[in-house]
Amino acid sequence: MKLAHRPLRYSICVSGAARGSTVLQSYKAAEKIGATIAKAGQAVTTGATVGLPYYAAYGAKQAGGFSIGFSPAASLREHLRKYRLPYDCYDFVNFTGLHYVGRDLYLVQSSDAVITIGGRFGSLHEFTSALEAGKPCGVLVGSGGTADIIPELMATLEPPAGELVIYDDDPERLVTRIIELIDSKYKDIHDQLTKRDEHWYLHPESTPPRKG
């Protein structure tokens, strides 16, 4: 058995405020980011919450895309009744049971890149976690909150891997640039997939290719 080759699909996290002034300021931009990710054939990941992440998931679904939510809850009941979070814009909800802090780390580690729009302390936590993990980070400047503070923090703290951070004030252009950065990060994988069969794992008698 051999499956047809298809392009890699990335999971791009959209991080932003669940509540507060930046939601009113930037919800249309969040929706556009989600739609642009979907139209590019990539998956949107969020914290399965309200506010800007919800609008990003909504934009993705309206554009015919795929959306995954990472919930702080341990079950659907907790998600809906304890945390009072939405479910309608997600193709799949991962009930992490890790509460908000643990959920943030799991979400970031499960994504290929993180885009910050607006935001408060939770978004800052996701941004710094992504940077420490070596993930490409997009920042929508002009969207308020965390997104507009990040450039100053980066200049002041001089963190490593600053080259992984992209700033832009246009939602669609920011998504395009982030995808290009992920492409460059995985260039060797793309090259290998176009040159050889990567379906060895479908055959019980086969073994993984060895180096050298």
Domain boundaries in the chain? 11-187
Residue 47 has a CB neighbour count (10 Å cut-off) of 29
- Residue 82 dihedral angles phi and psi, to the nearest 5°: -80, -50
The answer to whether the beta carbons of residues 69 and 48 sit under 8 Å apart is: yes
pLDDT value for 204: 56
- Tokens, residue 3: 């499956």
CA distance 137 to 143: 15
CA distance 52 to 23: 6
State the chain's mean pLDDT as an integer.
92
Question: pLDDT per residue over 40-98, tens digit each?
Answer: 999 999 999 999 999 999 999 999 999 999 999 999 999 999 999 999 999 999 999 99
CA distance 141 to 131: 17
Q: 108 by DSSP, 3-state: which?
A: helix
pLDDT value for 159: 86
The answer to whether the beta carbons of residues 10 and 42 sit under 8 Å apart is: yes
Task: Work out the average pLDDT over 132-146.
Answer: 97
CATH class of 11-187: alpha beta
Q: Give the sign of the dihedral formed by CA 210, CA 4, CA 202, CA 112.
A: positive
